[in-house]
Amino acid sequence: MHINDAVFLEDLCPKFRLRQWRKSIHRFTGKSCIYCGKPSESIDHVLPRSQGGLSTTENCVPACLSCNGDKSDENALYWYRKQKFYDPRRAMAIRAWLEGDLRLAIRLLQWANTNFKVKQNFEKDESEYKAA
């Protein structure tokens, strides 16, 4: 498929675009929960939608169902600080993510998790993010 075709398809079909976006969010962390490092099964709104949080990349992080459900409508950083698996490097990563600095966020996550596999196509993902 040509890149031009993909753009065309996304314009035609917002659901396709949404699915691609959700996939790219998970890809940023190698499909691991930004809070605890377990496999990410959901997208968590850092500022909950009930409090006006938007579905933007800066406000949406990959999270496992356990963290997503447990955090509920609490402030993410405040909630995270109380967790047993709290790691200051991850807290910094979350903060960087919220500020839109995904490159820094991913670097901090790699530092926090030595099993984190460096993504080879990160440059490509970042350009997708910028285009979104």
Enumerate binding residues for Zn ion (CB under 5 A).
33, 35-36, 38, 64, 67
CA distance 84 to 22: 27
Helix segments in the chain, DSSP class H: 3-12, 14-28, 65-71, 76-81, 88-98, 102-112, 122-131
Residue whose CB is less far from Zn ion, 13 or 88? 88
Least distance (Å) between residue 124 CB and Zn ion = 26
Cβ atoms of residues 102 and 25 within 8 Å: no
Residue whose CB is less far from Zn ion, 35 or 97? 35
Residue whose CB is less far from Zn ion, 41 or 125? 41
Least distance (Å) between residue 81 CB and Zn ion = 15
Least distance (Å) between residue 64 CB and Zn ion = 4
